Structures are given as structure tokens and as C-alpha cells.
């Protein structure tokens, strides 16, 4: 075959593209198109080059030209990706439908359609597309895993488990499926089976903008998984000082607040336990934990030299190391405390407000991490929570801390709240404020964990098929004795949740007039059991 053959140039261009030698690709594609301006695959490759350079409109023109000359499944797939990259989901779906009209049995079209429909919150249609994908490509582990995700979000845990396990059977290294199965098993209370799968949770990690951040911590130490600390010794003889454990922070503040309960337990096995602590939690943990447990220290970062440590453990691997089951969750509370002087300062502030006799109820209506898909389903808007805050026989205390303007109350609505959060700088401040409250009502976020860890009554506003730690079909929690869970009966239905909370509030804190009637022996709605 002659070296002047465009087919040879194209093969070389494809090879260079996969090797990320894009300048070579550009040269070869220009040569091909100079010889044959209607070489559809070269036009497509030119579009791919533009897409790599984030020139989306240019890429679209090249790929559409290729499709006009000679339609091909990969051309439609690239055009779909271009529309997706700029957030034009309508045109992305339209492009897939055009491709399917020509190539109805092309599995990738059905898979991408399912992904997009799932993102657009069309679960029924996504299920149909995933099932069609698996009819055409039965060994597609990712399709099985994603179909499991859809079923889990719909509350069909049995179907979800079936597809997660099938995904793992097809591809034992599918870490997403292993992580998802671990979360599902935890949600159904099967802790012993779940923890090993939960070790692959890193694959699902996101940064604060919701982008994948799937880096498992790398520490030049053996991970402690519950063994006797004397079993392994990097220096061949256990130092006289005793074994030391380095615990790594992971995920969000709520995860830390829930699982730091294991640090004092670790001190029963190790002479020293260090926790790499986020700054916003440091003062709280110093006051509540380190002051009571001298063998517990807080670090700002993983030491560059880990020679002074013998083992490490990610914080959320400690439940596995301690063999945690539903019947032995270490649930003694409080294990976190507010500083007494700070709490007294807030107490004085409350004494000075009008009607100081009103019950004080803290409220958090939205989580952090606005870029996360999960945050959209766990959070309420202020407009949604406002009718609850209109109940005037309690004093509503704002505990919401956010940089997202969409999560803040408008100026008129602020009158419903006592709001001192501008003076709150970290979780120690928040704890001192919570110490003066009678109840905290919160969505699934860090403040709920903090208040419950302090032993305060907490009412959790829980999304349908929510986080694994709240289990299924329960209104209580083995992790927090003072927690009461109000779960959506239907996906996305917060109105029902808030209506139940309003009734419970009337029962727990009867309006003043009702209390007067009770003192006179007259019946009222507040006589119902709380």
C-alpha cells in the first residue's frame, strides 16, 4: 500500500489521536482533507480535535458536516457528547434519537440515552433504555451498575442489589458497583457483609463542585483493620512506646462528626491516636475530645515523615475495624460537648430577646456542596420551609451556614428567624449555640450530626431512599438515640414531611393558649402523645 494512500494517513491519525499527539493528528487530517474534502471520518476526527480544545461550536460544525456526507454511529455519539458538554440536554437526546432511527441496535446509543434520561430525572424511561442496552450488550457491567442506581433511588432495593451483584460478577474490578452494593447493604442493616464493599467508597467521592475526586489516601503504613496492633511491626520489634494509629479524615463534616466516636475506642488498642482534622472542626474536637482523652491528638495534615506511626486507618473504615453491627453500634451520647463559657454567652443573648419563654428550635433547610447531585434532593428551598417557620409558638433559630445565595432567606423572610450565624465561625460556635436549644430540625447535613452527638433532640428531614446511615423504614437511629427521622413517603415530596413535622411540633410544644387550657383541665390537640 502506497504511503500516499489516504487510508494509511487516516490509520496513522487515529493512532496519533489515541496517543494524544494532536499536532500530528492535525497535520494528517489536513493532508487527508486536502486530498479528499469529503472524507467523512477525517472530518469527524477534525471535530474531535476541536472538542479536545474546548472549541465546541467548531467541533459541532465539523461533525455535522461528516454526518451530512456519510452518517456513522460514532459521529452521532460525538455530536451527543458535544451537546452534553455545553449542557444542552434537549439536543443531546435529539441527536441520540436521530442516531437510533438509523442504527436502532447500536448499544452505546441506548446506554447514553439511559444516562441522560437518568440525569434529567426520568427514571422510568432510563430503566427502559438500560434494559435495552443489556439486551444488546448483556455483559455491560456499567449498565448493570447504573440500572441498580436507578432502582435504588426509586426505593426498589431488591432490584438494585440484583443489578449491583450482576455488575460485579461481570467485572469484579467495577469499584462503583462494589461501592454501591456496600451502601445498599448498609442501608438494609447488613453491616458485617457491607463493610468490605464500603472500602471501595473512594470511587464515588466528589469535590466541593461535584466533580469526581477518586483518590484513595496513600500512606506508607499498613491499614489497621482490627488486628492486634502487635501483629505487624515495620521495625521488626514493637517499640516500647506502644503502637500508634494515624486516622485520616475523609468526606464531609457530617461523616467526621458521626465517626469520631471511634477515636476514644481506638485509644483502648493504641497508646496514641492522631486524627487529621479539618480546621472547622479542630476547636470543637479539642474541647470535647482531646481535653478528656490525652492520648488523642489532632493534626493539620498527614505527616511528611510517618516514621513515628505504626498503622493508619481512614476514619470511615473504623466501624469495620471494630466489627460494627446493628446491635453493637457505639451509641453512647453525648460524646461531643459545647464549651460552657461560650454556651453561657449565648444563654445571655437568648435571655434578652422578646418572649424568652418560647421553645427554641434550630433549623437547617439545606445542605452544603451545591454542586452535588445528592444535595439537590436532600435540600429544601427557603420557600419550601417557610410555611413551617410561620408557626409562631416557637422561636426559630437559624443554624444554616451557606455561601450559596439561593439557599438564603430573602430579606422579608428573615423576620421568621433569630439569626446570629454571621457570628458563628466554626463548629465549636455552632455547638455552643445548639446547647441553648430545645430541638434541632435539619436536613441530612452536618448540623444534624453535631446536635445528635451532643444528645440534643434532632428531627431529621430525610429524602426518599436516603443515605445508608438512616436505614430503611425506621424513624429512629441506632447511631443517635435522640434522633427522630421524618422520611419522604414519595420521592421529592417535602410537603408531606413538613406537614408531619408541624403536627409533631404542636404536640411537643403546645401553643400557649393550649397550655392554659390544659392547666384548667380542658382538652386540646396537645393532649396527644408526642
> What's the rounded mean pLDDT across residues 480-497?
97
302 close to 219: Cβ distance less than 8 angstroms: yes
pLDDT at 407: 78
d(CA 503, CA 506): 5
pLDDT tens-digit map of 100-127:
999 999 999 999 999 999 999 999 999 9
Indicate the DSSP class of residue 206. Answer: B
Question: Does the pLDDT value for residue 207 go beyond 90?
Answer: no
pLDDT tier for residue 527 given thresholds of 50, 70 and 90 = very low
How many Å apart are CA 397 and CA 416, to the nearest integer? Answer: 9
The closest alpha carbon to 390, from 407, 418, 413, belongs to 413
**What DSSP string describes 252-296?**
-HHHHHHHTTHHHHHTTT-SEEEEE--HHHHHHHIIIIITT-TTE
397: helix, coil or strand?
A: strand
> 3-state DSSP call for residue 488?
coil
DSSP designation for 236: S
Q: Which of 489, 396, 379 is nearest to 443 (CA)?
A: 379
E strands present in 399-497: 439-443, 458-462, 483-487
| 477 phi-psi bin (left φ>0, alpha ψ -120 to 50, beta other) | beta
pLDDT at 237 over 60: no
d(CA 116, CA 90) in angstroms, rounded, equals 10
Check residue 2 and give its pLDDT. 47
Task: Indicate if the pLDDT at residue 307 is higher than 80.
Answer: yes
Closest CA to 174 of 136, 213, 148: 148
Band of pLDDT at residue 235, cut at 50, 70 and 90: low
Q: Are 134 and 108 in contact (CB under 8 A)?
A: no
DSSP annotation of 317: G
pLDDT at 209 over 80: no
- How high is the pLDDT of residue 515? 45
Whole-angstrom Cα distance, residue 372 to residue 444?
A: 14
223 vs 516, residue with greater confidence: 223
Name 216's Cβ contacts closer than 8 Å, sequence gap at least 6.
202
CA distances from 498 to 71, 162, 363, 375, 448 (A): 53, 34, 12, 18, 17
- What does the CA dihedral 126, 131, 133, 137 come to, rounded to 10 degrees? 160
pLDDT digits (tens, 9 = 90+) for 363-402: 999 998 666 778 889 999 998 999 999 998 999 999 998 7
Q: What percent of the chain is predicted at pLDDT more than 90?
A: 84
**475: which residues sit within 8 A by CB, 6+ positions away?**
484, 485, 486, 487
What are the residues facing 245 on neighbouring strands?
273, 311
Percent of the chain with pLDDT over 70: 92
Is 499's pLDDT higher than 50?
yes
Separation CA 387–CA 384 (nearest Å): 7
Q: What is the mean pLDDT of residues 139-161?
A: 97
Residues 496 and 387: beta-carbon distance below 8 Å = no
Per-residue cell: 31: 493532508
In this prediction, residue 126 carries a pLDDT of 98
Q: What is the pLDDT of residue 311?
A: 97
For the chain, what is the mean pLDDT? 91
Tell me what pLDDT residue 406 has. Answer: 76
The pLDDT value given to residue 158: 97
Judge whether residue 280 has pLDDT over 70.
Answer: yes
Please give the pLDDT value at position 230. 76
Amino acid at each position: 500500500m502506497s504511503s500516499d494512500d489516504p487510508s494509511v494517513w487516516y490509520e496513522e491519525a487515529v493512532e496519533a489521536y489515541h496517543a494524544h499527539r494532536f499536532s500530528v493528528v492535525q497535520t494528517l487530517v489536513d493532508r487527508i482533507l486536502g486530498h479528499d474534502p469529503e472524507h467523512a471520518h477525517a472530518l469527524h476526527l477534525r471535530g474531535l480535535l476541536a472538542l479536545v480544545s474546548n472549541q465546541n461550536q467548531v467541533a459541532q460544525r465539523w461533525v455535522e458536516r461528516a454526518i451530512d456526507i456519510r452518517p456513522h454511529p460514532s459521529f452521532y455519539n460525538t455530536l451527543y457528547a458535544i451537546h452534553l458538554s455545553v449542557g444542552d440536554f434537549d439536543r443531546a437526546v435529539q441527536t441520540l434519537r436521530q442516531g437510533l432511527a438509523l442504527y436502532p441496535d447500536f448499544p452505546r446509543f441506548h446506554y447514553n440515552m439511559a444516562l441522560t434520561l437518568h440525569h434529567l430525572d426520568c427514571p422510568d424511561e432510563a430503566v427502559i433504555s438500560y434494559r435495552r442496552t443489556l439486551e444488546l450488550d448483556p455483559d455491560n457491567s456499567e449498565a448493570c451498575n447504573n440500572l441498580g442506581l436507578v432502582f435504588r433511588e426509586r426505593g426498589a432495593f431488591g432490584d438494585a442489589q440484583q443489578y449491583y451483584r450482576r455488575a460485579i460478577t461481570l467485572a469484579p474490578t467495577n469499584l462503583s458497583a462494589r461501592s454501591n452494593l456496600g451502601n445498599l447493604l448498609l442501608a438494609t442493616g447488613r453491616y458485617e457483609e457491607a463493610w468490605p464493599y464500603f472500602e471501595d467508597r473512594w470511587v464515588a467521592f466528589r469535590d466541593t463542585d461535584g466533580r469526581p475526586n477518586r483518590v484513595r489516601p496513600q500512606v506508607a503504613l499498613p491499614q489497621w483493620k482490627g488486628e492486634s496492633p502487635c501483629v505487624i511491626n515495620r521495625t521488626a520489634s514493637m517499640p516500647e512506646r506502644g503502637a500508634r494509629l494515624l486516622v485520616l479524615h475523609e468526606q464531609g463534616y457530617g461523616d467526621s462528626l458521626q465517626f469520631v466516636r471511634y477515636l476514644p475506642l481506638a485509644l483502648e488498642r493504641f497508646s496514641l491516636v492522631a486524627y487529621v482534622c479539618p480546621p472547622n472542626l479542630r476547636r470543637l474536637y479539642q474541647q470535647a475530645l482531646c481535653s478528656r482523652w490525652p492520648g488523642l491528638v489532632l493534626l493539620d495534615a498527614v505527616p511528611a515523615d510517618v516514621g513515628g506511626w505504626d498503622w493508619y486507618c481512614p476514619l470511615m473504615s473504623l466501624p469495620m475495624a471494630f466489627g460494627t453491627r446493628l446491635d453493637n453500634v457505639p451509641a453512647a451520647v453525648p460524646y461531643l460537648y459545647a464549651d460552657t463559657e461560650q454556651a453561657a454567652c449565648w444563654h445571655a443573648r437568648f435571655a434578652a430577646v422578646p418572649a424568652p419563654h418560647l421553645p427554641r428550635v434550630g433549623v437547617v433547610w439545606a445542605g452544603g456542596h451545591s454542586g452535588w447531585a445528592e444535595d439537590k434532593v436532600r435540600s429544601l428551598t427557603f420557600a419550601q420551609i417557610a410555611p413551617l417557620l410561620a408557626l409562631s409558638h416557637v422561636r426559630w433559630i437559624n443554624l444554616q451556614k451557606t455561601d450559596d445565595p439561593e439557599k438564603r432567606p430573602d430579606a422579608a423572610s428573615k423576620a421568621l428567624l433569630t439569626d446570629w450565624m454571621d457570628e458563628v465561625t466554626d463548629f465549636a460556635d455552632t455547638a455552643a449555640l445548639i446547647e441553648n436549644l430545645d430541638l434541632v430540625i435539619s436536613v441530612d447535613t452536618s448540623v444534624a450530626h453535631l446536635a445528635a452527638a451532643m444528645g440534643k433532640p434532632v428531627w431529621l428531614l430525610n429524602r426518599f431512599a436516603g443515605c445508608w446511615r438512616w436505614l430503611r423504614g425506621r424513624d429512629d437511629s441506632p447511631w443517635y438515640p435522640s434522633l427522630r427521622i421524618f422520611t419522604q413517603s414519595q420521592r421529592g415530596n417535602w410537603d408531606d414531611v413538613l406537614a408531619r413535622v408541624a403536627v409533631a411540633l404542636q404536640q411537643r410544644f403546645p401553643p400557649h393558649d393550649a397550655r392554659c387550657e390544659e392547666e384548667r383541665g380542658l382538652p386540646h390537640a396537645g393532649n396527644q402523645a408526642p
